[in-house]
Amino acid sequence: MSSAPVATRSHASSRSASLPVAPWLLMAPFLFGVILFTLVPLLSSVHLSTRQTFGPEFSTNVGTGNFQFLASDPLFWTALRNTVIFTLGSVLIQLPLSLLLALALNRPNLRGRTFFRVSLFSPVLVGVVFVGMIFAVIFDKRTGLINRALHATIGWDIDFPWLESYIMPSLVIATTWQYVGFNMVYFLAALQNVSAELGEAAMLDGANAWNRFRHVILPAIMPVGTFVVLLSIIGSFQLFELPYILLNGTGGPQNRGLTLVMYLYQTGFQTGDLGYASAIGWVMALILGACAIGQRIISKRGERA
Amino acid sequence: RTERSSAARMWTFARLHYSMYEPAVEEWNKTGEPKVELSLLGIQAVEQRMLSSFLTRKSGAELMEIERRIASRAFAGPLDGVGFLDLTDRIKAEGLDQKINASSFTPWSTRGRIFGLPHDVHPVMLGYRADMVEAAGIDVSKIETWEDFITVLSPLLYDADGNRRTDRYLLNMWETHMDTIEVLLLQAGGGAVDPDGMPMLDNDANARVMAHIAAWSHGKNRIAADAPYFSASGNRLLLDGFVVASFVPDWMCNVWRNEIPQLGGKVKLMPLPSWERGGRRTSVWGGSMLGISRDAENHDQLWEFAKHLYLSPELSRELYTKGDIISPVKEFWSDPMYDKPDAYFSGQAPGRMYINLAGDVPPRYSSPFSVLAVERLRTVASRLATYAKAQGDATPESLLPEAKRLLIEAQDEVMEHARRNRFITPAEGEGS
Amino acid sequence: MTALSYAFVLIATLLILTPFVWLIIASFKTNEDFFTSTFLPTNGGIFDIAWDRLTFRNYVEVFNQPNFARALLNSVMLSSVTAVLATLACAMAGYTLALLSFRGRTAVTWLVLAALIIPPPLLIAPGFQVLFELGLLDSLWGLILPAITPAFGVYLFRQSAISSVPKELIEAARLDGCGEIRTFFTIVLPLLRPTVSAFVMITFLGTWNNFLTPQIVMQSPGGFPLSVAIAQLKNTYYQDYGLLMAGTMVSIAPVAALFLIMQRDFVSGLTRGAVKG
Amino acid sequence: MASLAIDSVSKVYPGRVGVVDRLSLDIPDGCFCVLLGPSGCGKSTLLRMIAGIETITSGEIRLDGQVINNWHPRDRDVAMVFQNYALYPHLSVRDNIGFPLSMRRVPRADIAKRVDHAAQMLQLVELLDRRPSQLSGGQRQRVALARAVVREPRIFLFDEPLSNLDAAMRLRTRAELKQLHHRLRVSSVYVTHDQEEAMALADLVAVMAQGRLQQVAPPLDVYERPANRFVASFVGSPPMNFIAARLVPESGGVHTLSTEIGISARAVLAMPGVTPDVVLGIRPTAMRIAPATSGLAESKGGTMATMIESIEPLGELMDISLRCGTQHIIARVASDRSLKTGQSVALTIDLDKSHLFEPGPMGPRIEATLSCASQQHTAPKADQNTSQNTSQNTRSPSHESSHAILS
Amino acid sequence: MASLAIDSVSKVYPGRVGVVDRLSLDIPDGCFCVLLGPSGCGKSTLLRMIAGIETITSGEIRLDGQVINNWHPRDRDVAMVFQNYALYPHLSVRDNIGFPLSMRRVPRADIAKRVDHAAQMLQLVELLDRRPSQLSGGQRQRVALARAVVREPRIFLFDEPLSNLDAAMRLRTRAELKQLHHRLRVSSVYVTHDQEEAMALADLVAVMAQGRLQQVAPPLDVYERPANRFVASFVGSPPMNFIAARLVPESGGVHTLSTEIGISARAVLAMPGVTPDVVLGIRPTAMRIAPATSGLAESKGGTMATMIESIEPLGELMDISLRCGTQHIIARVASDRSLKTGQSVALTIDLDKSHLFEPGPMGPRIEATLSCASQQHTAPKADQNTSQNTSQNTRSPSHESSHAILS
Ligand SMILES: Nc1ncnc2c1ncn2[C@@H]1O[C@H](COP(=O)(O)OP(=O)(O)OP(=O)(O)O)[C@@H](O)[C@H]1O
Ligand SMILES: Nc1ncnc2c1ncn2[C@@H]1O[C@H](COP(=O)(O)OP(=O)(O)OP(=O)(O)O)[C@@H](O)[C@H]1O
Ligand SMILES: [Mg+2]
Ligand SMILES: [Mg+2]
């Protein structure tokens, strides 16, 4: 059926008349899982977002009330601001670093690649709980590694209040530490699609390192690249556990460490209003949706090639 | 479907508790019904499972030992929406309200109903570096109020390396450390929520305390510094004598004992300085309860078990010997073990000292808004601190108006949320 | 150029490793030293370091934890099953979305994206309910099934299939008599190998370190994986940090080994020489 | 083994109409059909549509009478050599070749045997354990070819399968393919740009241009009786020379042909009534060159005086380009070192190997017999016959192409 | 523009020795050198080493006397057409062609101009805005070619640049390349399998086999004076026929040549003292066939009686394979429909176009003049001369190759 001329001509990449059943077979496990464990719960949360609840039997319809309140809820805006700051920070700092590392480690002639690769990846091996612990020690005011190191070297303020006034930067540093190697692995995998031949051709055409990156490597890793960007935007937006642990369950001073998901969690569980929580969740989803669409558009361009 | 074993499940979040309960549970399982199955969970896990099971009315545990901050989250809805069994009548009927230290009930009470059996009292004292104080020839018995505290101990403030940054402070407290702030608020008779569970941030007590805290840590003559509790660096600073005195609830003794053995014999305890002469000399920090799930069958048997576990003399002994925690059950207080001098605290008998203060422990009420309100208080504290820094030579008096303003602002914000809650109206609060 | 990247990588590695050094050393320290010395306990033997104060006690303790072996076994079981199933499910779906054309492809792609952007806490309570209704609570499947279809995995495979599987190869395979399923296993999977091993690694890790969900889904302590056992070393009143760190180290070891085995696959030129043009 | 019918099939790529345009072609069972056509005329696309890896925009493809438009490639049981190899990079050469067999559950031993045989036939034996990335271009191409010929499919599709092989290897492989075809008699469609190859292999040659079929006929006919000017110029190298000419009618179908370059002839047309303006087509190989006897011989009949502009030696033969008035003419003759550039020579044309076309790049051929102006002549039977069986051979397509040409 | 010197260069792939083996080749400034050789003999590898994208295992490559072994490809300023195109998939055809220029900071306007020019020359104009994935094989190849020729590098490297083009297009492009070369005079190395192409383009032809150089000489010489049997059989299609023969010495360097198939001749050797057992090489194009006068004509001298085994028509020409005793002989003659399979014919051989070789697949050619046994004959001066300038033309290589052949 999918090979009916009309159906496929409209299809940009019409490749073959593939049996209609095969695709669904291949996707069955995924669909099963996503429907059962995402869609179903999700629908109930859609319903929830128009209500104010406490548990199943206590729930009244507030229509768009949740969203209206959200708009005027200073906590929400703080959370949003923090989250966006964090997201920008980690996307703009972490990913470029990961890519650079991947490029460096992809050089065949680099000695000790394995060691570097393993070392750089190792932070992911540690559970977030311990990352919290470690960085509590690192960010401490008087005794923290950072402050002491910087104090010793550049006379930095030994009482610099990382986890009080500069929570988001601290979080960016911590997550970068943990995930720079992780994203590097994605990029390493992606770099395998770069055709050696094209690199050679580019050299002959007089392309310098940058141009080779720009015209040979980048296009080849674009699909995965955009994916990693999207993923870390989403990941950053859902930042929760690390601050939850670092700030033991609170939003930190003046809620400087309050993230959207943390707020969602607080309202949803700590004050038991799943309705309001769902509303927050949906606003998040909308924002991320926008990013996703953007990513699709970009990577579409890549796929044409 | 999960095959629900006939045994009743009980969750606890503290390894110490777990080890203490095991014998008691075994003993109960010999004769008692239903059999109880004790399991240890991370505190975060307990919280999520409790809430999930309450919210979905599904597959919780029959018995849950809950830490205070978490417990309050179960009280978000209308009274008959609370997941815990209402124990008020049972407690009153059996006169437990007389038997047990009154203030211990408050955290598990909302709108006049009690939902948990208290586990502890947790009075707070000041733990101070006796060695330094005595070396300076200072007599702490002169201290009665916070003013005294400052005047008496101020000689200890000094700048070791002459870099015009003080290297020893009097009090271990910080505007960001909500626990200690709450300790002081409660001591002064303030707090986050009133007995009806309604936010009450904008009272004079709160304002006064806030003003002081800000002044202490950023004002003209600063006495407070931050040696974070429960952290390596904090302990390090205590060892170095960066701060002289810290807030020490009974359980904290146990923490110090284990984490900073080096302080043994160097520290002593004293009652908190009061806010005005003759005022309250203690406060409260932390605490947990045992709750019974409303959805459990056989409530009565579980209630029996709860009492068997919590009110037993063995437990009270365990609590003190293993965890330095005094029992909430008044009749055990006569136990001589509390008088045993403690080498770690230079021969003092902490047990007795805490028990003497237990009666004064201030009440602290729980409500769906506790978390929110406390968060707000924290924000106020930190805003006020910023204000103080800006002011330069701030004093409690100079900060008071700003403190009031901020608190009122905070109060309004929390009320915003409170008014939103269709399930708890102030009216209903009075209702019960 | 090489020198430059060398310097860059070296610095990065150093920065990354410092906290680790701290962690490792901490795992050999007594509680006392943990709180009073940043790295190695000072004023003692060589380099003014009290070597003799370092101890294996923590590790011994960890291994003496009640049903530690059981927990380890659970973890291995849980993580490997999850990783394998998840990789298969995601790779299949990803490849389908990338290279097969069928009606409804766009719809499914959007579904994936949608699933991708759902904040997990939004689903905690409803998810719990679903698990309960399906009677999956307190069973390993309750942990595995929800974990084998992460949208991000599907999307990852979709993207890397687009760039690393020349469509000519799929066509050739079809002509050579491969059904779509065969094609996937004989042609696509090998070509996606770098991504596959990366993803296996990532899923395995995620499961291995996840200590919260198991405590919510599993009811009886017998089913707890290592992560929980380690997390439970945490105390409420005071912490035995040395023990915790030792626990962490122990829990890291197996995954580290796995990574060592797999990391080679992240770099292995593949599609070369496939087609001309 | 099967008969393949392509019935007014079209392919439209997004924004590109007429890549393949209402093309019809019947390939009887066991026929070896060679596709010729300029680069980009749609040959590969056609093959890919037959294979089922490219969707058919409109029209039908029938295999033994069954419409297979929507069949999965696997079920069509065709074997194809891709223009760009499409080898499996992760498999050894051996596994690449054996792949289609193992997919069809051929027993291991069998596979090994057939793979070895194919490897021998294409001299890949010592490469069997390499990866494609370790092969040279020609070796890759041979692997691709081997992967196709290990099978015994219903249809073979070859897309320039020998383009990267050296002359000797190409000759040998060509012979092998011919044998293979004789043995198996599998209907095959074969794309090539090497006309010698086409001539050597084809039962039927199909010439395409711009997505349309221009002529379908046995190899020699395409060469000797091109359906139109395009085919004439495309088949045969160097391409045919074209000279504008005029037909002046005489008695009974006989005309006099005159060109501005001085060549004149008698033309007997098979059917009367054509435009006076025509184009005379002369193959470079249908000319003889002799040193001019006098300084400048006068042109008469099939012979004319001219001058050598340049010479391109090609071993045995050489291409001589000559200036005739305004026009250049290329002649290919046996190499003869005595001829020099600038020398004036006498050029003689084999009139009976020359053709007349209607004007225009696709102008159809005019069935006619040319002869030297002097002697008498009538169209011989033989010609009639062959022309008969040509048009018969290519009935349905010729409709097509004439369509194409008219529209 | 530069002179290129390859000095006993070798390439060893992991586990594969002798891919390129101590190969030396001098390409004077402005020389157009065509590389011929069987599939997998190391042509592309050699080109890639010159370009600097393949490491050199041993030996030196010099550009204008400078050793460039370790130069970065960018600095060598060579333009290369890759055997498999290597187009940038994400760039339009226009940008693909313009890429090398924009990399070299050529002003925009300039680029546009030169791209358009190249596109015209290769008929890519209407494809300029497409992506490579939307092109046909031949179109891709032309884009690859265009990307090389927009530049004016010091060296051009072409790796089978026309293999996927149709005859007409190939002819045209060939002419364009020739013009380009005449205009720019950039030294070029050109790999092809099309010998007509080689003949047409080359100043110098280098024949490779198994990683070694077999002969370097001007095109015609390679054809007419192959250095050894390999070259003889490789160059020219269909390949030369080889017939075992014996030399019986007579007076003064004159020998009688006798073959078992009955052909005999007089051989005048340039230098005396060779093995009696030799191989007679006859080009298929150096034979004439006439219907046998009597039922079976007796063989004598250059002529012999034989029978047609099979006929392969090729338009203008046809290949006839003949049985001579145990041996098959291929003859390529003008097509003549009167000849039929099984018919017995008289085969005449152009002895002066035939060659003698020492035995063995690489047996060097024996400088000799053959003539019909009957008439008297002495080696003519002309031959001497040409043989002179051959060996002179190819001094340094011929050392090499003889090396190669001996070792
Ligand atoms: N990466 C490699 N590893 C091992 N052997 C290789 C590798 N690349 C090429 N070869 C071998 O080296 C030899 C020369 O390869 P090359 O590509 O130069 O041949 P070629 O002369 O270009 O052949 P063709 O005309 O088919 O392109 C071939 O036999 C090939 O098998
Ligand atoms: N994906 C595509 N999108 C648009 N046009 C395409 C696409 N693929 C091919 N074409 C165009 O279709 C026409 C036919 O392509 P095809 O590959 O069939 O040519 P071909 O006859 O095989 O040429 P060649 O002999 O060079 O291989 C070409 O003009 C090409 O530009
Ligand atoms: Mg093609
Ligand atoms: Mg090659």
Asked if the Cβ–Cβ distance from B254 to C238 is below 8 Å, we say: yes
User: Does D401 or C103 have the greater pLDDT score?
Assistant: C103
Can you give the pLDDT at residue A82? Answer: 93
Q: Which residue, by CA, sits nearest to atom 1 of ligand 1?
A: D134
Of D350 and C267, the structure prediction assigns the larger pLDDT to D350
Give yes or no for residue D42 CB within 6 A of ligand 2. Answer: yes
Which residues line ion ligand 3, judged by CB < 5 Å? D 44, 83; E 136-137
Of C99, C110, C238, nearest in space to C173 by CA: C99
Measure the CA–CA gap between A127 and C79, rounded to whole angstroms.
14
pLDDT of residue C275: 55
Q: Supply φ then ψ for residue B414, to 5 degrees.
A: -60, -40
For residues A82 and A284, is the Cβ–Cβ distance under 8 A? Answer: no
pLDDT value of residue E32: 96
Statement: residue D11 has pLDDT above 90: yes
Helix (H, G, I), strand (E, B) or coil at A164: helix
pLDDT band at C38 (very low <50, low <70, confident <90, very high): low
For ligand 2, is residue D45 a contact (CB within 6 Å)?
yes
Verify cis geometry, omega within 30 degrees of 0, for the bond prior to D14. Answer: no
What is the Cα–Cα distance from C80 to E192, expressed in whole angstroms? 54
Output the pLDDT for position D295.
45
Tell me the angle at which helices C151-164 and A218-237 cross, rounded to the nearest 10 degrees.
Answer: 170
Give the residue, out of E92, E124, E133, E139, with the most ligand 2 atoms within 8 A of its beta carbon, to mutate for a pocket test: E139
- pLDDT above 60: residue E296: no
pLDDT digits (tens, 9 = 90+) for A254-301: 888 899 988 888 887 766 777 888 888 888 888 888 888 887 787 676
Q: Report ipTM for this prediction.
A: 0.80
Q: How far is CA B240 from CA B168, B237, C36, in A?
A: 9, 5, 10
Query: Higher confidence at residue E165 or residue A238?
Result: E165
Chain-centre distance for alpha carbon E131: 35
Confidence tier at C167 by pLDDT (50, 70, 90): confident
Choice among A125-129, D153-157, E63-67 with the minimum mean pLDDT: A125-129
Cβ proximity of D114 and D101 under 8 Å:
yes
Does the CB atom of residue E202 touch ligand 1 within 6 A? no
pLDDT for B371: 79
Asked whether residue D313 carries a pLDDT value surpassing 60, the answer given is: yes
Q: For residue A237, give how far its alpha carbon lies from the nearest alpha carbon of chain B (Å).
A: 21
Amino acid B131: pLDDT: 92
What is the mean pLDDT of the segment spanning D197-210?
92
CA of E138 to the centre of ligand 2 (A): 9
Rounded to a whole number, what is the distance in Å from the CA of A75 to chain B's nearest CA? 10
Alpha-carbon torsion E214, E218, E220, E224, what sign?
A: negative
- The span from the CA of A23 to the CA of D96, in Å, is 25
pLDDT digits (tens, 9 = 90+) for E220-251: 889 888 999 999 999 887 889 998 888 888 87
D137 Cβ inside 6 Å of ligand 1? yes
Which region among A273-282, E306-315, E375-384 has the lowest average model confidence (pLDDT)? E375-384
- Chain E and chain B touch, per 3+ beta carbon pairs within 8 A: no
Q: Is E129 in the pocket of ligand 2 (CB under 6 A)?
A: no
Residue E110 has pLDDT above 70, yes or no: yes
The atom number, within ligand 2, closest to the CA of E133 reads 1
pLDDT band at C267 (very low <50, low <70, confident <90, very high): low
- The reported pLDDT for the residue numbered E377 is 42
Alpha carbon E367 to its chain's center? 21
The string of pLDDT tens digits covering residues B86-118 is 999 999 999 998 999 988 998 888 888 899 999
Which tops the pLDDT comparison, B290 or A51? Answer: B290
> Which ligand lies nearest the alpha carbon of E35?
1
Cβ contacts of C169 on chain D, cutoff 8 Å: 86, 88
Interatomic CA distance for residues E130 and B76, integer angstroms: 64
- Point out the residue among A25, A180, A231 whose CB comes nearest to the CB of C181: A25
Contact flag C277-E83 (C-beta cutoff 8 Å): no
What's the mean per-residue pLDDT of chain D? 84
The model's confidence at residue D374, banded by pLDDT at 50, 70 and 90, is: low
pLDDT value of position E389? 35
pLDDT at A257: 87
Measured CA to CA, the distance from residue C277 to residue E240 in angstroms comes to 35
What's the CA angle centered on E32, arms E27 and E34, to 5 degrees? 90
Q: Of the given ranges (A175-189, D218-232, D305-319, E376-390), which has the lowest mean pLDDT?
A: E376-390
Residue D342 pLDDT: 86
Rounded distance between C-alpha atoms, residue A97 and residue D5, angstroms:
59
As given in the structure block, the two tokens for residue B43 are 């505190």
**pLDDT in the model for residue E95:** 93
What does the pLDDT read at residue E109? 93
Q: C259 vs B166, which has greater pLDDT?
A: C259
Q: How far apart are the first and last CA of chain D?
A: 36
User: What pLDDT does D405 receive?
Assistant: 27
Rounded mean pLDDT, D378-406: 35
The residue with greater pLDDT, E394 or D351, is D351
Instruction: Please give the distance, rounded to the nearest whole angstrom, from the Cα atom of residue E218 to the centre of ligand 4.
Output: 22
Q: Which is nearest to B384 in space by CA: B220, B219, B191, B214?
A: B214
CA of C84 to the centre of ligand 2 (A): 42
Instruction: Note which residues in 135-154 of chain E have CB less than 8 A from chain A.
Output: 147
- In the C/D pair of chains, how many CB contacts fall below 8 A? 86
B127 and B246 in contact (C-beta within 8 Å)? Answer: yes
For residues B423 and A54, the answer to whether their CB atoms sit within 8 Å is yes
Residues in chain D: 407
Q: Ligand 2 centre from E133 Cα, in Å? A: 9
Least confident window among A33-37, C174-178, D55-59, E141-145: C174-178
Instruction: Say which residues have a Cβ less than 8 Å from residue D236's Cβ, sequence separation at least 6.
Output: D195, D223, D283, D285, E315, E316
Residue D17 beta carbon below 6 angstroms from any ligand 2 atom = no
Name which of B58, B49, B74 is nearest A56 in CA terms: B58
pLDDT of residue C108: 92
- CA D127 to ligand 1: nearest atom: 31
Mean pLDDT of D206-235: 91
Query: How many whole angstroms separate alpha carbon C122 and alpha carbon A280?
Result: 9
Residues 236-275 of C with CB under 8 A from E: 275
User: Cα(D395)–Cα(D389) distance, rounded to whole angstroms?
Assistant: 9
Please tell me the residue having the least CA distance from ligand 2 atom 11. E135
Distance from B353 to chain A by nearest Cα, in Å?
A: 30
For residue D263, name the pLDDT band (cuts at 50, 70, 90): confident
Give one word for E346, left, alpha or beta, with left for phi > 0 and alpha for psi -120 to 50: beta
Confidence band (pLDDT; 50, 70, 90) for C235?
A: low
| D317-324 and D327-334 beta bridge pairing | antiparallel
| pLDDT tens digits along E187-225 | 999 999 988 889 889 999 999 999 999 999 998 889 888
pLDDT of residue E26: 94
Interface test with D, best of A1, A13, A14 (most D CBs within 10 A): A14
CA distances from E179 to A195, E173, E195, E201 (A): 34, 10, 19, 10
More confident residue, C95 or B197: C95
Residues facing D249 on adjacent strands: D255
Kindly give, in sequence order, each residue whose CB lies less than 8 Å from that of residue B118, ignoring residues fewer than 6 positions away: B100, B101, B104, B105, B107, B108, B287, B289, B310, B328
| Mutant choice from B421, B424, B425 vs A, greatest count of A C-beta within 10 A | B421
Task: Tell me the mean pLDDT in the region E259-284.
Answer: 82
Write out residues in chain B with pLDDT < 50, as ranges.
Answer: 1-4, 426-432
Q: What is the pLDDT of residues A101-127, one digit of tens each?
A: 999 888 777 778 888 888 888 888 887
Looking at residue E98, its pLDDT comes to: 93
Does residue A40 carry a pLDDT above 70? yes
- Torsion sign, CA atoms B402, B403, B406, B407: negative
Structure confidence at residue A55 as a pLDDT band (50, 70, 90):
low
Q: Tell me which amino acid residue E125 is.
A: V
pLDDT for the residue B162: 60
Chain A residue with Cα closest to E78: A204
Residue B415, CB-side half-sphere exposure with 13 Å CA sphere: 11
